[in-house]
């Protein structure tokens, strides 16, 4: 399958999953918010109705005698009310409107029933034929008119002053009557419709934004994977290229040995020497790849222990002096008298510094200088390897730690390099919670600096 098609399909699936999950979350959140808003408005409306009913109840109850005609009593208490079975003045005066105590007469209505459930009076705004004429003593009722308008009403019991304080011999009724306060639900239903409209418009827009953002986020998520895949492909191609050359040389030598008559033993020995050389090159390359893979996966079985960097630098300077002398290069080192210790793998640290020194010697021309220094700076052990070689162009410095990368590929292959030395050095530095940097200019030499935490600052990272 085409690589680009595979990643495009993976990105699409990732975007769809992300958009689907976010759509479900958004739907649940929107529905929950909708229910919460509706219930909050409904509860607020009922509390308001209970408050108004309680105010009217507290105002009426002390003035309700049980012995008088209720019609005349209601006329004196609430002049605005219309009496049942009598003409109703629907245009009360300002004083009459004020006595009702209801601010929004177009929304609320008021009705009074006696204890037998007979309608005695009602507010002028209650011109609603569909309202039940029979008393329903249930506290809360909701019903709908023929015009589709909904109403919600609250019923509360009224006691007269005499009923509360006296025992009636001829009348055993527990109450004087009932006060019923209702309201038109058109404003509430309009608010519900408005919320539904907002959700109906906002939800598709939010889904569109989620789809676009999921496509963009899936691209960001796939980029590191795609880059890693490309690096793996590049590594596979480079490894195949590096392995192919010594294998081809080895096979050609073996084939020549088999075909050429064994007349001159010296020629045979020379060919066998080439076979051995190419075999060692393959063995070293495979060993380097295995070491690099182990370092990057942090799968080294050895535990860190205290290592003296003074001894390590001195030993490597002594060992590399022969290689430097063979190349006519002056190798020097500067190590402090005070010993510097870090926690680490000694063999890996040895490989780190030796790779840097060998790399400096390899790229320094004859009669050049390579200098190694060791010091402590900001609680870090600093190892610096400076040469007077060919230098590294600025554009190449970001890639010199990549596997198989060479600034001068032809020269490296002639000197036996595989392009893994600096990659291994960086992996070892990272494995020890350190890092490596380079400073270089073309024809001005290079300076590689390794910073590793000293033992007292790395102890808590011990593996």
- What CA–CA distance (Å, rounded) separates 269 from 435? 46
Please, where are the H alpha helices in 91-141? 94-100
- Write out pLDDT tens, residues 52-71: 888 888 877 777 766 555 66
**Residues 255 and 271 sit within 8 Å (Cβ to Cβ):** no
- What CA–CA distance (Å, rounded) separates 254 from 225? 42
Task: Report DSSP letters for 229-282, one per residue.
Answer: HHHHHHHHHHHHHHHHHHHHHHHHHHHHHHHS-S--HHHHHHHHHHHHHHHHHH
| CA terminus-to-terminus distance, the chain | 42
Residue 60's pLDDT is 75
- What CA–CA distance (Å, rounded) separates 344 from 412? 30
Of 452, 459, 417, 454, nearest to 437 by C-alpha is 452
Residue 97's pLDDT is 45
Strands 380-387 and 119-122, how do they pair?
Answer: unpaired
> Of all residues in the chain, what percent are helix, strand and coil, respectively (each to 5)?
55, 15, 30
Residue 126's pLDDT is 54
E-strand ranges in 2-139 read 82-83, 108-114, 119-122
Quote the distance between the C-alpha of residue 97 and its chain's center: 61
CA triplet 328, 330, 335: central angle to 5 degrees?
Answer: 150
**Count of other CB atoms within 10 angstroms of residue 86:** 9
Which domains does the chain show, CATH number per domain?
3-194 (no CATH), 302-461 (3.30.565.10)
SS3 88: coil
Residue 373's pLDDT is 92
Strands 305-308 and 119-122, how do they pair?
Answer: unpaired
E-strand ranges in 290-443 read 305-308, 330-334, 341-344, 369-377, 380-387, 435-440
Residue 162's pLDDT is 57
Of 404, 396, 443, 394, nearest to 424 by C-alpha is 404
For the chain, the C-alpha Rg in angstroms (whole number) is: 47
Cβ contacts of 84-88, under 8 Å, gap ≥ 24: 84/118, 84/119, 84/120, 84/121, 84/122, 88/124
Mean pLDDT split into 10-residue runs, the chain, 463 residues: 76 90 91 92 92 83 65 67 69 46 65 82 65 80 84 86 48 70 89 91 91 89 80 68 71 72 67 75 76 69 82 91 90 90 88 90 89 89 90 80 66 56 86 88 85 64 39
Of 290, 299, 312, 394, nearest to 356 by C-alpha is 312
Residue 276's pLDDT is 76
**Residues 361 and 322 sit within 8 Å (Cβ to Cβ):** no
Chain length of the chain: 463
Residue bearing tokens 């029979």: 134
């Amino acid at each position: 399958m085409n690589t680009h098609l595979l990643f495009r399909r993976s990105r699409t699936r990732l975007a769809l999953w992300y958009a689907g999950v976010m759509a479900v979350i958004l739907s649940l959140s929107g529905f929950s918010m909708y229910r919460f808003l509706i219930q909050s408005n409904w509860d607020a409306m009922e509390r308001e109705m209970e408050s108004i009913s309680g105010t009217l109840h507290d105002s009426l109850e002390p003035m309700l005698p049980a012995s008088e005609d209720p019609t005349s009593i209601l006329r004196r208490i609430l002049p605005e009310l219309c009496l049942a079975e009598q003409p109703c003045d629907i245009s009360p005066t300002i004083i009459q409107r004020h006595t009702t105590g209801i601010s929004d007469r177009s929304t609320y209505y008021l009705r009074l029933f006696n204890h037998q459930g007979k309608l005695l009076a009602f507010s002028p705004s209650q011109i609603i034929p569909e309202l039940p004429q029979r008393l329903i003593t249930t506290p809360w009722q909701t019903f709908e008119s023929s015009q589709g308008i909904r109403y919600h009403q609250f019923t509360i019991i009224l006691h007269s002053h005499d009923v509360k304080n006296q025992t009636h011999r001829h009348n055993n009724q527990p109450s004087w009557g009932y006060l019923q306060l209702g309201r038109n639900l058109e404003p509430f239903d309009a608010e519900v419709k408005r919320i539904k409209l907002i959700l109906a418009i906002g939800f598709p827009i939010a889904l569109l934004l989620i789809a676009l953002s999921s496509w963009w986020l899936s691209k960001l998520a796939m980029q590191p994977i795609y880059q890693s895949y490309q690096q793996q492909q590049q590594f596979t191609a480079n490894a195949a290229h590096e392995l192919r050359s010594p294998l081809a040389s080895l096979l050609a030598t073996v084939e020549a040995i088999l075909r050429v008559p064994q007349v001159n033993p010296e020629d045979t020995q020379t060919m066998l020497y080439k076979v051995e050389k190419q075999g060692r090159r393959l063995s070293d390359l495979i060993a380097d790849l295995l070491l690099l893979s182990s370092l990057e996966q942090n799968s080294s079985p050895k535990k860190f222990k205290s290592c003296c960097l003074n001894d390590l630098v001195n030993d490597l300077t002594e060992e590399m002096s022969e290689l430097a002398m063979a190349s006519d290069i002056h190798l020097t080192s500067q190590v402090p008298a005070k010993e510097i210790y870090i926690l680490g793998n000694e063999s890996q640290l040895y490989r780190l510094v030796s790779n840097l020194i060998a790399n400096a010697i390899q790229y320094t021309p004859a009669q050049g200088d390579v200098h190694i220094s060791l010091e402590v700076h900001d609680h870090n052990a600093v190892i610096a390897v400076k040469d007077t070689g060919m230098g590294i162009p600025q554009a190449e410095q970001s890639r010199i730690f990549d596997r198989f990368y060479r600034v001068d590929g032809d020269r490296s292959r002639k000197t036996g390099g595989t392009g893994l030395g600096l990659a291994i050095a960086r992996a070892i530095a990272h494995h020890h919670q350190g890092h490596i940097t380079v400073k270089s200019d073309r024809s001005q030499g290079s300076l590689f600096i390794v910073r590793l935490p000293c033992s007292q600052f790395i102890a808590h990272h011990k593996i």
